[in-house]
Amino acid sequence: MDLSSTTLWWLLAGALVAAEMATGTFYLLMLALGCAAGAIAAHLGLGATAQVAVGALVGMGATALWHFKRAQHPQSAPAESNRDVNLDIGQTVVVRAWSEDRSARVNYRGAEWTATFEGEGLPAAGAHAIVAVRGNQLVLSPQARH
């Protein structure tokens, strides 16, 4: 059974997509685009050298564009303080008293939590905003951050 160059390009593109799904490396999708471009070049009847050149240029170009796009955008906050990941961020809790080590016990969502103070100066009793969740510990600030 002879496989055409078009079929080989599409098989390689499929293998790269499968590898991306297994690893989560988005750059492999950019290389799969290059293989798809190579397959289209084969469909158009271009020679093997032109197919490889088209595939390489499209794959490298897409990879470079994706790299520069990611470098231009700021990284999201760590999961422990990212509101998109943890819906507790920004919620308010009431602290009745702080310990000398800047920790407190607070009631939140029907359970008692250990909380730590993040901020300048001495912590005071009252309402505080959750700015991060580290394991089973709430990190509190005296004012809400948006």
pLDDT digits (tens, 9 = 90+) for 43-57: 999 999 999 999 999
Mean pLDDT, the chain, rounded, equals 90
Q: What is the largest CA-CA distance in the chain?
A: 78
Please tell me the distance from the alpha carbon of residue 94 to that of residue 82, in angstroms, as a whole number.
Answer: 21
| Over residues 107-130, mean pLDDT | 91
Higher pLDDT, 97 or 82: 97
| Over residues 107-129, mean pLDDT | 90
Write down which residue in 33, 56, 72 finishes a domain: 72
| Count of structural domains, the chain | 2
User: Considering the domain boundaries, does residue 19 fall inside one?
Assistant: yes
Write down which residue in 72, 91, 118 finishes a domain: 72
Q: Please check whether residues 20 and 63 belong to one and the same domain.
A: yes
Nearest Cα to Cα of residue 43 among 3, 2, 7, 1: 7
Please tell me the distance from the alpha carbon of residue 140 to that of residue 90, in angstroms, as a whole number.
Answer: 9
User: Considering the domain boundaries, does residue 132 fall inside one?
Assistant: yes
Q: In which domain, by residue range, is 31 found?
A: 5-72
Q: What CATH number is given to the structural domain containing 104?
A: 2.40.50.140
Please tell me the distance from the alpha carbon of residue 101 to that of residue 90, in angstroms, as a whole number.
Answer: 23
- Extract the tokens encoding 111: 């359970």
Nearest Cα to Cα of residue 134 among 84, 86, 75, 76: 86
| Over residues 94-116, mean pLDDT | 93
pTM over 0.75: no
Write down which residue in 72, 96, 129 finishes a domain: 72
User: Considering the domain boundaries, does residue 146 fall inside one?
Assistant: no
Q: Please check whether residues 12 and 67 belong to one and the same domain.
A: yes
Q: Please check whether residues 39 and 12 belong to one and the same domain.
A: yes
Q: Please check whether residues 110 and 129 belong to one and the same domain.
A: yes
> Which pLDDT tens digit goes with each residue over 1-26?
678 999 999 999 999 999 999 998 88
pLDDT at 2: 77
- Extract the tokens encoding 36: 């798809």
Please tell me the distance from the alpha carbon of residue 128 to that of residue 66, in angstroms, as a whole number.
Answer: 40
